[in-house]
Structure 1
């Protein structure tokens, strides 16, 4: 199993599973079915138009015009839906840059153009072989655009990061909590969680006293309530800056 490590804006490393050949083929078939249904619909509409227009060339031109979006289906979907087609959405996967940066539209164009080599010219043989023998399961289009297809079935829980769930109407208590850094919050949260799980109240008290000394405050809150508030305050300010 191949993984891709992405660093978030909160300086949290998240490991994503890189999607293998089987799942990508299923997503491709789903997209193919969508296009097939679109073609049937277009044929039905243009056939009905044939009853209105006597000129067959007019009907042919309208059919070709309506078919045009199907040719750009994957390109349009990837750009509009942040690296997803309907097939990728159903299979819970998306296209991302290897370095974790946002995918530029030009990268999607490169991937789309190389589908001609990866899929159509050689009946998918080039794409299949390149995915099978690539460390990051990339077809030629991925390699050329610096992208990779990852699974969005994320196993990383919020409790494993420095992030905290903060409601929109949350009111922070400690304004000077921003003098702490991500590494400080990560250490505080890890110590806090361990102390809660082991019912280590002595460590929790020492942690509260230490954080209070750093912030220069005497809150009067209980140990658990104080640390929980500090974590939420930090996330409130850093997420809304």
Structure 2
């Protein structure tokens, strides 16, 4: 029987001295998410091998052991290895700590300090899957997750990461006033292109600032609303390589609202 310990929680104090509380993901949800991811990776690898196989045998001059086919086979082996480990690293870094399996199960990977996972940490934790998978069937990884109080495998120890439940999946929230404003203005994340490097410059404090601004937006008097909008933009716009000068209040508001959507995806999972 897999012990999930669903009620187990941990408190983390971030470098910004913000106290966060997370619900740790147990062996059951992690294993199920991994199985889903492995099915996706396995299907993709199978399709690649079948495609190469048919491409080979469709060629009348095909020779299994000639130098050309040897390079292709070696390339396929390397591609399979990269896909097997690169899939997890790519999705964890660019999708807020979630692979497709993790997103389906409502869990995600974060740093031990509560921050989003870094590229280096994702690389380390996924490289050590090689050890966690020994001797077979991820036995070492399963034992560590099962026995450790924070359900960490070796990769998590080395990378300084933690797998937690994503509260946005678990809680159905009523649409806030700001969500209705964003919808009425027909805004979406597509209206502001942010590189990962730019997004990583924003901290928990930035999220709290823009979240508070959005919460108070509708209740502010018009003149104060303009003033606060400019003040918040002066703090946050430089991190996006943008200038406040020359923009209308409406344009600045819209940019802040779309930024709110970005940071909400990064930080709203905190309790």
Cα distance, 1:236–1:3 mapped onto 2, change above 3 Å: farther
The farther-off stretch of 48-57 and 7-16 is: 7-16
Aligned partners of 2:17, 2:232: CA distance in 1, in Å?
A: 12
Q: CA RMSD in A?
A: 3.9
Cα distance, 1:63–1:7 mapped onto 2, change above 3 Å: same
Aligned partners of 1:100, 1:142: CA distance in 2, in Å?
A: 14
Alignment partner, residue 131 of structure 2: 117
Alignment partner, residue 81 of structure 1: 95
* 2:210 is aligned with 1:229: no
* 2:69 is aligned with 1:55: no
Aligned partners of 1:94, 1:239: CA distance in 2, in Å?
A: 30
Deviations 1:166-198 (A, max 9, x none): 6356xxxxxxxxxxxx8xxx9xx9xxxxxxxxx
* 2:37 is aligned with 1:31: yes
1:12-23 to 2 correspondence within 5 Å? Answer: 13-23=19-29
Cα contact 1:5–1:15 (8 A) shared by 2: yes
Deviation (angstroms), 1:78: 1.9
Deviation (angstroms), 1:103: 2.1
Aligned equivalent of 1:138, options 152, 161, 168: 152
Q: How many residues align?
A: 186
Cα distance, 1:230–1:64 mapped onto 2, change above 3 Å: same
Alignment partner, residue 67 of structure 1: 80
Aligned partners of 2:172, 2:22: CA distance in 1, in Å?
A: 13
User: Aligned with 1:165: secondary structure?
Assistant: helix
* 2:108 is aligned with 1:94: yes
Deviations 1:86-112 (A, max 9, x none): 211211211001211232211112211
Cα contact 2:92–2:117 (8 A) shared by 1: no
Deviations 1:18-42 (A, max 9, x none): 1100011101111111122112211
Cα distance, 1:69–1:22 mapped onto 2, change above 3 Å: same
Alignment partner, residue 119 of structure 2: 105
Cα contact 2:20–2:114 (8 A) shared by 1: no
Cα distance, 1:13–1:113 mapped onto 2, change above 3 Å: same
In our comparison, the structure showing a higher alpha carbon Rg is 1
User: Aligned with 2:178: secondary structure?
Assistant: coil
Cα contact 2:14–2:113 (8 A) shared by 1: no
